[in-house]
Structure 1
Amino acid sequence: MTDTATTILLWLATIGSALIAGTFFAFSTFVMTSFARIEPAQGIAAMNAINTTILGSAFIPVFVGTAVAGVALAVLAFLPWNGAASLAMLAGAIVYVVGSFGCTMAFNVPLNDGLAAFDANDPAALPLWSKYLVDWTFWNHVRTVASGGACVLFVSALIWRS
């Protein structure tokens, strides 16, 4: 039973981390750059709209579900320890939970909350928006690499388990 559950969780974590990596990759490579090219009030409004919409979208169950699967896989990696497969499973879980989920909670969400509290039409919005674009995008790059790396580690665990 544990073997089947582990395999199912590994597949879910693989697919989930790939989907999340792709979403973050899109933001890192063209969404934030596009927002930087439009008027700050428009960029702030668009980002705030995304941040509100994302909470009710399919993104949240995939994002959180992948973190939950990662925590479960971190425990299952030891039951029993299976060398490289267990190490890849444990590493993938840590990379996703800390680098993607943890980074989001510690950095991106507070930046989003700060942006939401600011009046986009206030003349002081430009320096805030400029700093937001740099800081948020940096942490998004971290999340992109972490999610993609976790996906590679989960795939490796699947291969080494077979």
Structure 2
Amino acid sequence: MFPLRIAALVAAVLATGLTAGVFYAYAISVMPALNRSDDRTIVDVMQKINVVIINPWFMIAFLGAVGFAVLAAVLHLGKEHRATLIWIGIALALNVIAFAVTAGFNVPLNDQLAAAGDPAQIADMAAVRADYESAWVRYNVIRAVVHTMAFLVLCGAMFAAGVQQGKSQAVGSGATQGVAAFAAPAGFGAPHAAAHRLGRFAE
């Protein structure tokens, strides 16, 4: 069961890290570069990005940040995994918050930009940009920070899971040694008793 729990936790860490990385890249490179571009360029480029980013590679990471965290939490139910479960629960809450920011703010802004139509046909490009850019950048920074926090917390969960597994193995090893030590005298008891009886017979 331990390998399955760790596999789910690793998947949650990886998905969360990749998602945070995508939004981080937007925040430090894509959007600052587009900010230096003219109105038509930013509208045209973001319309295209918002189409191509809906692909399996991104969606597995984006949805997996929440989905794999839920799976990891379910697999760590039980008082013996409580320490790890607390870490996972915090990370899951953070991922849900970041997901809500994307769904509640960034996606509607993307839809609004798409509804503006072909950039070649937009009459007031500056207004379209003004309604989109600053708000989208602000919410992107928020979700990038929250996903990054979730990633760090999930790393803490992996550490906690490792510590818990080490303690479990130590307890199991100690119990095995205790049983062996207790059983050893019993094993030697029969020959000793037989020798004692033979000694008495010889007398």
Q: Which residue of 1 aligns with 2:155?
A: 155
How far did 1:115 drift? 0.4
CA contact (8 A) 1:74 1:94 kept: no
Q: Which one of the candidate residues 105, 108, 123 is aligned to 1:107?
A: 105
> Which amino acid in the other structure matches residue 107 of structure 1?
F
> Which amino acid in the other structure matches residue 96 of structure 1?
N
- Structure 1 stretches of 4+ with a deviation exceeding 4 A read none
Q: How does 1:6-155 map to 2 (within 5 A)?
A: 6-80=5-79, 82-99=81-98, 101-119=99-117, 120-121=119-120, 122-155=122-155
CA distance in 2, matches of 1:59, 1:93: 19
104-113 vs 59-68, which deviates more? 59-68
Q: Which has the larger radius of gyration?
A: 2
Superposed CA deviations along residues 19-61 of structure 1, whole A, max 9, x for unmatched, are: 1111111111121111121111111110011110011251111
Among all aligned residue pairs of Structure 1 and Structure 2, give the percentage whose two residues are the same amino acid: 27
CA distance in 2, matches of 1:32, 1:16: 23
69-78 vs 129-138, which deviates more? 69-78
How far did 1:77 drift? 4.4
SS at match of 2:138: helix
How many residues align? The count is 160
> Which amino acid in the other structure matches residue 108 of structure 2?
P
By relative contact order (CA 8 Å, sep 6+), the higher-ranking structure is 1
CA distance in 1, matches of 2:36, 2:53: 22
Residue ranges of structure 2 left out of the alignment (5+ in a row): 163-203
RMSD: 1.7
TM-score (norm 2): 0.73
SS at match of 1:58: helix
How far did 1:102 drift? 1.7
Going from structure 1 to structure 2, the CA distance change for 1:98 and 1:71 (only over 3 Å counts) comes to: farther
**Could you say which structure has the higher helix fraction?**
2
SS at match of 1:152: helix
TM-score (norm 1): 0.89
